[in-house]
Each structure stands twice: as C-alpha cells, then as structure tokens.
Amino acid sequence: MFLNYIKNFLIKKTLKNSLQDSKMNHSSVIVQTVGLLVDVTDFAATELLIAELIANGILEKNIKTIVYCDAVKKKEGLKYPTFSGAQLKWNGEIRGHEINEFSNEKFDLLINFYDIEKAILMQITHDSKAQFKVGFSSIDKRLNHFIIKTEINNDAVFVKELFKYLKLLNKI
C-alpha cells in the first residue's frame, strides 16, 4: 500500500515535469473516431455515456472504450477491456497489450472520463496519440486540449457541453 503511494507520487511528479515541455497540437479534424477512457471506480454508467455519444451522432463502431478499476476481478464478465494500477511500472511504462494499443491508436477525440488524478490514467492520457483530448477541470489542465467543469455523475451535462463546443470549434 505504502509502496503504491510512493510509486504513484513519483510517476505523477515525472509526468507533470514532462508536461512542461509538451506542446499542444491544434487540429481541425472532424470527429469520427472516439476513444473513451473511463474510471469505473467513480462512474459505473459507461453504457449510458456511450448511448449519449451515439445519440449525438457518433457511430457505435467508431467508439473504443477502455475502463480502469481499482481492483479487477478475473471472474467478472466485463464488456470492455479493464485494467488496474498494478499494470503501471515504476518508470511510468504500462504493461498490457490492450492499454498500449489504445494509447497508440489515433483517435479524432479522446474523452478522459475521470475526475481524480490517478497516475495510470494520467499516463495513458499523456501517451495517447489522439488529435483532441477532453476531460474534467479537476485534472491537470496540460493533459487535455479542452476541459469541462462539471461533476463526473452528470454525464448528460458533460456530453451536452462537449458537443455544444465541438460544434463551435467545427469539429462535428
């Protein structure tokens, strides 16, 4: 427990230092593919979130979802690829084929649906090759191109605000 705390602290510190040197890329790509990174520890209604994205014109086949859970149980029949903090090494590298595949995919939009800074979630967001990243205001502002100030349980408000601003930015 204590070693995990130290590991997370060191990785967050390293990640935040590397964010000082990063530059935001500004792309005018129309959103077609969406990556969804969800922390199901705090938000369990992933299906509702995906349904709201589909209702706003995103095709279901173009949404790729990966979920984080503090404790992954092998016997649970999970619909989406699931990972935990145990897959994060001390040097910030991530073990797991599915996570690395998700990070390397070039999404038009990455939705970071977590509001508590956890080292592995922040590392995946940082490593992602997505063109445009969206997240909550409680997370380090250098990780996302666009932030929305709302509570994690207000997924309908989050999606409504997201699509309102995507229209203004000519991304949909």
Gyration radius (Cα) of the chain, Å: 15
Q: Give the pLDDT score at 17.
A: 67
Rounded to 5°, angle at Cα 6 from 2 and 12: 140
Provide the pLDDT for residue 87.
Answer: 80
Q: No. of H helices and E strands in the chain? A: 5, 6
Q: Domain containing 82: what range?
A: 2-18+31-169
Find the CATH number of the domain harbouring 148: 3.40.50
Question: Which residues in the chain land under pLDDT 70?
Answer: 1-3, 5, 7, 10, 12-13, 15-28, 72-78
Residue 23 domain flag = no
pLDDT at 127: 87
- State the Cα–Cα distance between residues 45 and 49, nearest whole angstrom: 7
Residue 138 belongs to some domain of the structure: yes
Task: Output the CA angle 98-99-102, nearest 5 degrees.
Answer: 85
Overall domain count for the chain: 1
Quick one: pLDDT at residue 31? Answer: 87
- 121 class by beta-carbon count within 10 Å (0-12 exposed, 13-18 middle, 19+ buried): buried
Which residues have CB under 8 Å from 9's CB, separation 6+?
A: none
Supply the pLDDT for residue 89.
77
pLDDT at 27: 62
Taking the whole predicted model, whether its pTM rises above 0.75 is answered as yes
Predicted confidence at residue 76, as pLDDT, reads: 59
Q: Establish if 25 belongs to a structural domain.
A: no
Angle, helices 155-168/46-55, rounded to nearest 10 degrees: 30
Residue recorded with tokens 């230092």: 17
Is residue 26, in this structure, part of any structural domain at all?
A: no
pLDDT at 93: 78
Helices (H), 2-75: 2-19, 46-55
Q: In this structure, is residue 24 part of a structural domain?
A: no
N-to-C CA span, the chain: 44
Instruction: Give per-residue pLDDT as tens, 132-170.
Output: 999 998 888 888 889 999 998 888 999 999 999 888 888
C-beta separation of 140 from 56 below 8 A: no
Is the C-alpha dihedral spanning 115, 119, 124, 126 positive or negative? Answer: positive
Angle, CA 24 vertex, CA 104 and CA 10 arms, to 5°: 70
136 three-class SS? strand
* Residue 131, domain member (yes or no): yes
Residue 165 within any structural domain of the chain: yes
> What number of other Cβ atoms are within 10 A of residue 143's Cβ?
21
